[in-house]
Structure formats: structure tokens, C-alpha cells
Structure 1
């Protein structure tokens, strides 16, 4: 819900430029990547349910900070400082919640079904993007930022209530390796995931400003188009990495993502841009489970939570770097050029996947 709203609040209401908006959006992912190791350790030692409960509580605090920033009639510097604090809290909460849920899900069905498990977890996440972005935008436009941020407080509390009722599942016991060693085992797959994340980061951070520049008020539906494509592929082909191999799936998926990003870059009108977002969703859908299946193959069972934490941390790095980088690109070459950057990154991801495959 806050993804299309916060950039408009910072840019239109507080008067900050595109680079600053990108930095504020990206700072969440700095917090996320720095706490993935802790999330992986909590997950391996105490279970994914515990990590998810911690994450949902902290995400509620992040929404409360956004609400405070909206309510305060103070200087833009104070307001943006509160938003940045909220983004940092959201980063920590997300690292706990997502790492916990992904590892919890895999533990519940077994590693032989890891790709379908990751696919369904991702469906839930991107359904939230598809539904939440237009809902957040509608609340912002009709009722104002305050009501939109109240919704951002309520949603994680509902998630905590659901999580609390469910059965915990745990990874097998055994020798747990230091986090840095786990990173050393899965960095290739993580790098491929990181390059995929550049396009998604640009889509989430700058879609609202891109469409505002084109005099279109339908920015919230961009993430809906992305989410529809993403969920369709996950529902239809979610088990594909388990059946034919993760690298092969990742290569084809990145090629489709590059095509979708190119459509967004060259779009002559909003309808082509919506289709480009849809194609980007088709491509992004199986990159995570594709590389994720291969990452899990490289670590022992007691370290799967840490492996997932390290693996997702590469996506956090993509978001942390891509936000300010895309803001810089947009400031010099226009918002459309952000998606050229995403297309180039996806092509580089194909090269990483090809070089990581066993001979």
C-alpha cells in the first residue's frame, strides 16, 4: 500500500527531488540486507513462525511512523526523517517476516517441493502488491495519506494474528555454519537474483512518478498488471524449477523480464506501459524459485534458513542500490530510462545463470 503513495508524498507534498525519493525508498533495503543474517539464525534456531511474528510486529511500527509523518504539520526535514525511520523499521520487519515465511513454508512441505513452496509464498507477496498498490493509491487520493497509513498499521497486525494460530515447522538439526560461509556457497544464485531485482525496484519506486509525468492517474494499476502476470506464471508453472532445473528456468525468465522492461522504456502510451509491466511480471515470476532451488542444493539442511536469508539479501541489495541509481538516471534521462536500466540488468542476469550452470 505505501509503495505508490510515499514517492508522491515526498515529491509532491514535501517537495523533494527524484534522487532523494530514490534514496528514501532504497534505505529500507539497506536495513533489510543488514538483518537477513539475524533473521536466518532466528529461523534456523527457533523456527520460521517466530521470525514471522517478530517481523509483523515491526512492520506495524513502520506503518505507525508513516502515520506520524502524515499527521505532523512540521518542516519537510522532520517529516522525511520520520519516513526514513519508518523505512528502516520496515526493512527489519520485512527481513524477519519474509525469511521466516519462506523457510517455514519449505520446512512444512520438504525440500523436494521447494520451488512450488517458494512459488506460493511469492504469489501471496505479489498478490499484496497487485491489490495493495491501487488500494493504497485510492485511499491516498480519496481520504488522504493518514487513512492510507492507518491501513499500513492494520495489515501487519492481521498477519500476526493469522501467524499466531498456525503450526510451527522446524528445519532439521545439525551443524550450523557461519552466515558468511553460507553466503560464499550461494553467491552466484544471489547475484542472478540481484540483477533481476533491478527492474522490479525501478517499477515499484518510480511507476507513480512516471505515470504522473505522462499525465495519467492510473499508476496504482501498474503493479496490478505486474502482479497478474506474476501470479499467472506462478500458478501455472510454479513447479517447473523442481522438474527441469532452476538455471534453465531462470535464463528464460530473465529474457522475458528484459522484454517487458524494454516495452516500459519505449512505451508510446500508458496501455503499452501496462502491458510491459504485465510481461515484466511474467518474467520475474520464476527467477526467485529458479535460482532458489539451486541455492538450496548448495547448503546442508540445517542451514536452509540462513541460505534463504542470504539469498533474499541479494534482492535487498538490488533494491537498496537500484532506488538511488534509478533516481539519478531518471533525473538526467527521464523516468522511462529507469526501465532501460532494468532490461540491461536482466540480460546480465542471463549471463550469470549461464556461467553458473554445471557443465
Structure 2
């Protein structure tokens, strides 16, 4: 009987979550494609420096950060499906603005302004679509499976980023950059179609809602650890292509693919670890692995070792979000789940928004290898924060 019940639960999970995973994958494929295209486009085509590259890349995360409170409130009050679909629509808008930046005859500064506008819209779309999809998925399959929902959402997210970058490089080389940007519009349509048949969640309009700033305080233990851990990922996504170029190591696509593959495989094979061994313990081990990966990239004498460092970073970073995220949503009522997820993810956004410009300054001052020393130091800072928080929790209990 238990086997039959388990099989039925697995079928229900797959029925509701598979469309959401496809939708999330399509959205993050657009983000991976822009990450694989924008650094080289800003530096080589528009002829701006490393700081501007960092600003352009980080602007999306900053926009996501600033709209997390709004996306969480909209998700809780208007429904996860509404929030998700509004985010998908904005991806299409961002794609249209991206495409305008490569219009014939447009000036470089005008193109940069349009690019920044597109990054802002893309950032808002991420906030709405991801908060909506996570809340939608957890609501459809139940809170006890929230860790599994986060795990598979994360797989879709980083698989999209990892595959999007090399796909964008190939499309640009074969057809032109305008087709890379136009593809984001097509992918937004695929994302919408994937979840069109899923039911909407009921909204409890009578629940008295906790202010966003109080939610941030409740989940700050998990959020700070996530923020520091995310910097290593930001360093790879923003500067690994330029790092390879500075050393004449050829196409960096394998670095993106290796990071994403290791990230996804770690989630697939070790997704039960946070439940079995505890979120903080898994996060600490993961951070140690990520730190080693960042150091390996920084001191790599060959592209093969740098790629191996990207793989270690993917392994280490993979389980941080679900390990700490499950603990975060346990601190709020179900009616506030969207707001809690928005607040938790805001720490991730803040990290990426700040890491890009800071890493750009570091790269301009000390070279691209130093960017990954910055990433390693951030992993160490996350370890210190989590150890201190564990001590504080022990004293409180």
C-alpha cells in the first residue's frame, strides 16, 4: 500500500511540476543567452570598459531585488499564476528592447541606455515569474514537498543559464546577435504555453500579512548565507568569458556547460542531503567545495583546470539554495509563502547586483584572476556567517 501511495504521489508531483519546470527552464534560457552575449557585446561592440560590463550584467539582479517585495505581495494577494504570467509577459518586452539595441544606425550610448532598460525589465520579469512559479508549485503539491520543488526549479534555472550561454554564442556566430535577442521573445511564448493548463491557487484575502521587512528579519540567517555563496556564481556568469579571452584560451562555452552540468547532477543525485543531514551542515560543506572551485579558477595555469574550477563551483553552490530555503519558508504561515520566498531570494539578487560592479572594479584594477579570489573570500565569509548563526541558534535554544 505504501508503494502504491508513493507511486501516486510521484505521478501527482510530476503532473503539476513538470509544466512549471519547462516554463522556468525557458525563462532562464533567456537569461543564460543574454549572459553569454552581453559581456562581449558591451566590451567589444559598444567599446565600454569592465566596470560598465559589470553594471549592465548586475542591473538585472538589482531590478529583481528591488521588486521582490512587490512580487511576493502580488503572489500572495492576486495568485501565483497571475504573478508568473505577468513575469513571462515582461520577458517578451525585454526581448523586444534587447533587439532594438542592435538596430542599424543606433549610437553606442543609445544602445547602452536601451540595454540597461532591457536589463531592468528582465530583472522585474525574473522576480515575478520565479516567485510565482515556486509558490505555485509548492501550493499544488503541498508544503512537505517544498524542498523537492525548490530543487527541481533550481535545476531548471541553472540548466537554462548553463545551456543558454553556449547556445547564444552559437546563434550569434551562425546568424547574428539580433537572433539571440529575438529568441527571448519566442522563449517567453513557450514558457506561457507550458503552464497554460495548470489550475490557479486559491487566495486567502482575510489573512493579516506580516510586513516585508519583518519577513526579511525572520529569514536573515538563511539569506545572508545565500548572499555570500552566490558571489562565486556571479563571478563565473559575468567574467569567465572575458577571463578566457584575456588568456587566449578560446571558446569559454565548456566552462558554462561544466558549471551547469555539475550543478544539475549534484541536485539530481544529492537532493535528499539537506533533509538527511540538516540544511546548515550541507550548506557548510557545499561552501567549502565552492571555495576550492573559485581558488582553482583563480590560480589555473590552463583552461582545463579553470573549467574544473567551474565544475567544483557548480557542485558546491548547487545545494545551498534548497538547504537554506526550506528552513526559511518554515518560519512563516502558508499565506505568506510567496513573500518569504521573495525575501529569501532578495538576498540572492542583492548579491548578484553588487557582485557584478565590484568584480568589474577588481578586474580592472588587478586582472580577471583576482575576481575569483573575491569569490573565494565571499565563500569564506558565508561560512563565518553560518557558523556564527548556528552558535546564536544554540544559545537561543
**TM-score, normalization: structure 1?**
0.97
2:99 matched to which residue of 1?
A: 67
2:48 matched to which residue of 1?
A: 16
State the distance in 2 between where 1:253 and 1:111 align. Answer: 25
State the distance in 1 between where 2:291 and 2:147 align. Answer: 22
Map 1:175-324 onto structure 2 (within 5 A). 175-324=208-357
1:174 and 2:215 are equivalent in the alignment:
no
Q: For 2:102, what is the secondary structure of its paired residue?
A: helix
Q: For 2:236, what is the secondary structure of its paired residue?
A: helix
Q: For 1:71, what is the secondary structure of its paired residue?
A: coil
State the distance in 1 between where 2:280 and 2:140 align. Answer: 24
Residue 223 (structure 1) shift = 1.5
Residue 170 (structure 1) shift = 4.9
State the distance in 2 between where 1:18 and 1:149 align. Answer: 22
Residue 167 (structure 1) shift = 2.4
State the distance in 1 between where 2:221 and 2:105 align. Answer: 47
Structure 2 stretches lacking a partner, 5+ long: 1-32
State the distance in 1 between where 2:241 and 2:203 align. Answer: 41
Give the length in aligned residue pairs: 359
Structure 1 stretches lacking a partner, 5+ long: none
- The one of 81, 91, 109 equivalent to 1:49 is 81
State the distance in 2 between where 1:131 and 1:110 align. Answer: 30
1:124 matched to which residue of 2?
A: 156
Contact 2:255–2:310, Cα closer than 8 Å, also in 1: yes
Contact 2:78–2:203, Cα closer than 8 Å, also in 1: no
Q: For 2:195, what is the secondary structure of its paired residue?
A: helix
Larger Rg: 2
State the distance in 2 between where 1:90 and 1:313 align. Answer: 15
Q: For 1:312, what is the secondary structure of its paired residue?
A: helix
Change (3 A) 1:170 1:261: farther
CA offsets per residue over residues 262-301 of structure 1, 9 Å max, x none? 1111111111111111110000110001110111122222
State the distance in 2 between where 1:299 and 1:251 align. Answer: 24
Change (3 A) 1:216 1:170: farther
CA offsets per residue over residues 156-184 of structure 1, 9 Å max, x none? 22101212222223577733211111111
2:65 matched to which residue of 1?
A: 33
CA offsets per residue over residues 86-144 of structure 1, 9 Å max, x none? 00000100000111111112222222222221110000011101211110111112221
State the distance in 2 between where 1:53 and 1:167 align. Answer: 13
1:326 matched to which residue of 2?
A: 359
State the distance in 2 between where 1:239 and 1:75 align. Answer: 52
